[in-house]
Amino acid sequence: MNRYDLDARVAIITGGGQGIGLTVAERMLDSGASVSIWDRDQGLLDGLTAKYGTGGKVQCLNVDIGALASVEAGTAAVMNRFGKIDILINNAAIVGPNAVTWEYPPQDFMEVVHIGLNGTFFVSRAVVPHLIAQNYGRIVNVASVAGKEGNPGAPAYSAMKAGVIALTKSLGKELAKYDIGVNCVTPAVARTTLAMSQDPEFVKMILAKVPRGRMLELTEAAAMICFLASAENSFTTGGVFDLSGGRATY
């Protein structure tokens, strides 16, 4: 496993208490970065605090990305602790229930879109001014192949992730005059807690669409995300990087 040059970098990772977010945090720590792990599950945060302590390169914050005030407080806490922000990984989202569009619970639809899309906007809105001020930064948004192709039975999640892709492209263009790259990745199904909480038949259906014939490994996602978050990724912005195992058609 190669080591990315993230020495002295400070990263915020939303939804970092488990799954892809935590795997990215661990890979970044191994590559020299300090990380602020944001999650709204205090139990997960307590476990990470017990593992890493409170005075080192790991900060664990209870942040609800769906609440702007919580996001702004979290951003201030990172600045107070580390003095800067270099990297933002917008990973937090919820998947919602599995149902066809005309039977989908309206409140669930609004919650999925609010957390995954509005939350990504809130965090970006709070963090980007700090990146502009230092004329450097890397933002990686975790979208999904569902945002490219749409998954039947997951209209809210598909629409939300399509919005994340479009937001990535918009923000990438807005920040192109600075040394700030904004890109996203589009994973296929991975063995995360959220993914495996869905209907088993739905998981079987989307897995059958993957030519690789297996789920995405969390370490595979972390490898691509960490490269996109490094200074070595110095030209591409507004890009969509495929992690679908061959499923994506564009």
Say whether pTM exceeds 0.75.
Answer: yes
**Region label for 238, one of left (φ > 0), alpha (ψ between -120 and 50) or beta (otherwise):** left
How would you classify the pairing of strands 10-14 and 58-62?
A: unpaired
**Whose CA is closest to 208, among 233, 237, 236, 188?**
188
Structure tokens at 209: 């669409």
User: What's the pLDDT at 97?
Assistant: 93
Give the integer Cα–Cα distance in Å for 57 and 229.
Answer: 17
What is the per-residue pLDDT for 195? 67
What residues does each domain of the chain span?
A: 10-242
> 130 and 84 in contact (C-beta within 8 Å)?
yes
Which residues are tagged catalytic? 157
Tens digit of each residue's pLDDT, the chain (250 residues): 788 999 999 999 999 999 999 999 999 999 999 999 999 999 999 999 999 998 899 999 999 999 999 999 999 999 999 999 999 999 999 999 999 999 999 999 999 999 999 999 999 999 999 999 999 999 999 999 999 999 999 999 999 999 999 999 999 999 999 999 999 999 987 777 666 666 788 777 877 877 887 878 899 999 999 999 999 999 999 999 999 778 886 7
pLDDT tens for each residue of 117-135: 999 999 999 999 999 999 9
Q: Which long-range contacts (CB under 8 A, 24 or more apart) does 58-61 make?
A: 58/25, 58/29, 58/34, 59/34, 59/35, 60/36, 61/36, 61/37
Which neighbouring-strand residues pair with 119? none
CA distance 250 to 244: 11
Residue type at 247? R
Q: Is 10-242 a CATH 3.40.50.720 domain?
A: yes
Q: Which residues contact 77 (CB under 8 A, 6 or more apart)?
A: 36, 59, 61
pLDDT in tens, 24-62: 999 999 999 999 999 999 999 999 999 999 889 999 999
Q: Cα(198)–Cα(41) distance, rounded to whole angstroms?
A: 19
